[in-house]
Chains A and B, each alone.
Chain A
Amino acid sequence: MTRKEDLRMLRGRGRFVADLNRPGLLHAAFVRSPFAAARVCAISTSAAREAPGVAAVFTAADLGDPCLLATLERDEFVPTPMPLLAGDQVRFAGEPVAVVVADDAYLAEDAAELVEVEWAQLPAVTGIAGAVDGAARQVQAGLAGNCLVDLLMFDDQRLDEIFASAPLVVGGVFTSARVAALPLEGRACLADWDDRDGQLVMNVSTQVPHQVRSAVAQALGLPEQAVRVIAPDVGGGFGLKCVVGREEVTVAAAGLRLRRPVRWIEDRQENLTASFHGHEQRYQARAAFDATGRLLALGADIDCDVGAYSAYPFTCAVEPLMAASELPGVYKVPAYRARGRAIATNKAPTAPYRGVSRPQIVLVMERLMEKAARALHADPLQLRRLNMIGPGEFPYTGVNGITYDEGSYRESLDLAERRVAESGWRAERDELRAAGLAAGIGYVCFSERTGYGTPTMALRRMRMTPGYDTAQVRMDPTGEVVITTGTCGHGQGHETTFAQIVADRLGIHPDQVRLRQGDTDLTAYGWGTFASRSIVIGGGAAARAADLLADQLRQIAGSLLEASAADVELHDGSARIRGDNRAAVPLSELARIAYFQAHTLPEPLRYGLEARASFDPPGTFSNACHAALVAIDPGTGAIRLRRYLVVEDCGVVINPLIVDGQVLGGVTQGVAAALLEQIRYDGEGQPVSATLMDYLPPTAADMCRVDIVHLQTPSAFSHTGAKGMGEGGMIGAPAAVLNAINDALAGTAAEFDHIPVLPEDVSRALAAGSAGAVPAAALAGEGTG
């Protein structure tokens, strides 16, 4: 089924925040720090206030002391209140210190240039190594070693002994660069005070409308009912918009004070420098194996460069917590130790960008497998099979305390290997090699926890613990249906898939079902769309509510047809008695009677057709095996992706087109993380990838065709049997590409344990290798600077 969303988007009739207009609309422009660290000695706004068209200029002194505060209820966690506008100190280049509100965006930007700030520059902390040095300046006052979180998640006391006596220990330093989520629509919001409703109405490009409402209410001291947040069409998010930005709350404050509509549209430079990044991590990891290749122990020190502040509501602990708790992945690890730290630096804060630590932990495990196989002269895929949670072992509870539900780990690897063999990959690789290129094939095996509610989220101990969601399903008097959900799709096609789920249960066509989402006044409190949760949790709640509504319809039909409700089935728009095709009532007729002839029904069946249900599951693991074929030009170092295969299992597939779309988009982001994308700062903390000429998202020419094969192992932990699958592409692709690169360069001195691998990395490594000087280990971890 093609998507309901497409019709308006294809005709240019989508409605994004920047498309909205209001009489008297004002435009906001932020004045931002040019320095990574500085004291703000003085701000003069008088010239800006006098500029043409300016309605107001606000600084921290004008707004008082509101802030965004994300909190983890753990002793090891240091909260970092993020002021709406920085007051006496700035902590990253791009941090806002003032906002100008004017009649149009051009005038607001003109006036922003007239705000004069007297800065006293401070030394900047720009990387993990420098930050943890005892002599480093503290990014936040009182922060020893600039460490915001330090968690020893698992600490098997036998570990050192196992490593000391193991036949084989492999390890390394594994790093991934800071990257940007980069939705094509940047952040955006419009705040408009409504006198009639006594409400601040905010249209926000967000994945989490209710959390924006909570943030605005908490920061500005309002009851939540005084704020309504609407997410209109949202131009991509990828996690960037599952946190709340200070700009959004600042615009709310401006709208409240001015009692006029105020809009802010983030520009691309702001998006690349002053929003949120992710994935900048360093792993010092090692694994012990016995002589047959069986894993004995795993240990990792995990450091995440999280920037200057914790993002609301998830906190900066989201990356180290995810990494430390899920590192073992699809492998059976008998003994485990992991320490995860969040390190503050004078860089933009980080948010849970697509994948959240899983691309990195998968990369670490898959590199360790390859290193062990090489040391043991073993087949790397056999080594994986030997250590993988196998058929018959599900549900499997790992050393990390996580229970993995039924998956197809072994089958997906077997199938991927077979497809690679049958579709001529090796012949193509050999042809490339014959043509003078380096060429190699890489594999990756992984699972992905999705759709986890409060039972799992609570382990993080967030003050705001997400997870459940609630749906309402209502049939109107014409027999058509409206669903409301607290999830908030922004490109995933939820208007289509939720309609499919509910229509299926009511025996009607999806075109008869409309989804309402992204409006805090229309839906129950919900947690939006992130962490591959929506189809499992939001879709599960909708399915449950639809089941309740179906029961009501069956009872009404039973009462009209003088049959037992249990004998009534809903099919093809009608209620009918099972096995009796003559006795059928159209649902539209049932709906008409339910609303307009309510007095004819027994009391419990009167007064409308609607049901509400919630869902709060523990989570379910989808899984996949990816394979990549790359070709490398040894002369230029250029790396090209030639073939890509995904064998994935997300349980019951609701809509194949949409599932494939998620895989394709995710793989492309993952390939780009392996080969292209890198947010760079110089030694003073100046962002030097501030435009799309310096930061390189992938284009169509960087990608090859991606072949996708589906396995379907239904989940027992989701109401529909579906597993989440929004991130898997991104999780697997970096390691698959990295393994392919290393396979291509096997036999040279080059071995890479970092992403992205750039052409200059290859050239440098090959040059060093031919000089016979630098061992491969010296190259590891040098990628992110």
Chain B
Amino acid sequence: MKDMHRISLRVNGREHELTVEARRTLADMLRHDLGYTGTHLGCEHGICGACTVLVDSGPVRACLMFGVQADGTEVSTVEGLSVGEELSDLQQAFSDHHALQCGFCTPGFLMLAEAYLAERGSAGSGAATGDGPHAPTEAEVRELIAANLCRCTGYQGIVEAVLATARARRAAAGPADGP
């Protein structure tokens, strides 16, 4: 007998209600029940990070979480990053710095980096000087994205894209208006 549960959640701002089997992963639910196939599965044991999505703004491995655990949450996937046909600044930086080749791992890196950049932008982590976080260093970004695997790019383009986006967002925020 299947153990089914009725849940509701928001994905990229849109409300969904569905009935899902208890053992179904969040990744399978997003991909096959709700049609968000931009979230990819690369290992299904929590190592590669291709399935990284944001649940209530924090990055999670969608292969390690059950769909039912997302009941009542706000989930963000790669499909929600751009506004209309316009790429987000992070997406554009990925293209500019050739941070993707086959594109399979890309959604996971985008979500991971987006969570990191958003957190830095809003929480003022890093230097406790009150004028916002310091610009991330290459070493910090390498440490961050070491959470995920890419087999094509050698990571250099991803590192550059994240650094460039962080710089641009800091510049746009301005020193006086920093959070």
Contacts and interface: CB of A to CB of B under 8 A. Distances in A.
B157 A664 contact: yes
A208 to B, nearest CB: 16
Contact of A6 (B36, B39, B95): B95
Interface stretch (A322-330, A460-468, A653-661, A753-761): A653-661
Contacts of B137: none
Given A14-B103, A238-B151, A703-B156, A268 B42 contact: yes
Contact of A267 (B32, B44, B142): B44
A616 B110 CA distance: 41
Contact of A5 (B47, B103, B105, B153): B103
A3 interface: yes
B91 A661 contact: no
Interface string B127-143: 00000000000100111
Contact of B146 (A184, A491, A492, A699): A699
Contacts of A669: 151
A16 interface: yes
A183 B156 contact: no
A660 B43 contact: no
Interface string B39-50: 111111101101
A665 B151 contact: yes
Contacts of A478: none
Interface stretch (A228-236, A547-555, A626-634): A228-236
A571 to B, nearest CB: 28
Contacts of A267: 44
Contact of B45 (A3, A692, A702): A692
B52 interface: no
Given A11-B82, A184-B104, A235-B104, A658 B151 contact: no
B69 interface: no
B23 A106 contact: yes
Nearest to A238: B151
A692 B47 contact: yes
Nearest to B94: A10
Interface residues of A, number: 57
Secondary structure class of chain A's binding surface, majority of residues: loop
B78 interface: yes
Interface string A312-347: 000000000000000000000000000000000000
B81 interface: yes
Contact of A10 (B24, B47, B110, B146): B110
A579 interface: no
B149 A697 contact: yes
Contact of B48 (A492, A493, A660, A692): A692
Contacts of B42: 184-186, 235, 268
A11 to B, nearest CB: 6
A7 interface: yes
Interface in A345-393: none
B101 A492 contact: yes
Interface string A90-122: 000000000000000110000000000000000
Contacts of A19: 31, 37
A236 B47 contact: no
Nearest to A663: B154
A700 B141 CA distance: 9
B165 interface: no
Interface in A695-741: 697, 699-703, 705-706, 729
Contacts of B149: 184, 692, 697, 699
Interface string A4-28: 0111111111101011010000000
A474 B37 CA distance: 33
B43 A9 contact: no
Interface string A621-640: 00000000000000000000
B166 interface: no
Contact of A11 (B45, B78, B153): B78
B155 A9 contact: no
Contacts of B56: none
Contacts of B154: 661, 664-668, 703, 706, 729
Given A12-B78, A16-B37, A700-B145, 19 more contacts: A5-B103, A10-B94, A12-B38, A18-B40, A21-B32, A182-B151, A184-B151, A235-B104, A236-B102, A658-B98, A660-B98, A664-B153, A697-B151, A699-B147, A700-B142, A700-B143, A700-B159, A701-B143, A706-B154
29 contacts: A2-B98, A3-B98, A10-B81, A10-B87, A11-B82, A12-B36, A16-B37, A18-B31, A183-B151, A184-B50, A184-B150, A184-B152, A235-B40, A236-B102, A267-B44, A491-B102, A664-B155, A664-B156, A666-B154, A667-B154, A668-B153, A668-B154, A691-B43, A691-B47, A692-B45, A697-B149, A699-B149, A700-B146, A700-B155
Q: 7 closest A-B pairs (Cβ-Cβ)?
A: A12-B38, A9-B103, A235-B104, A491-B102, A664-B154, A668-B154, A12-B78
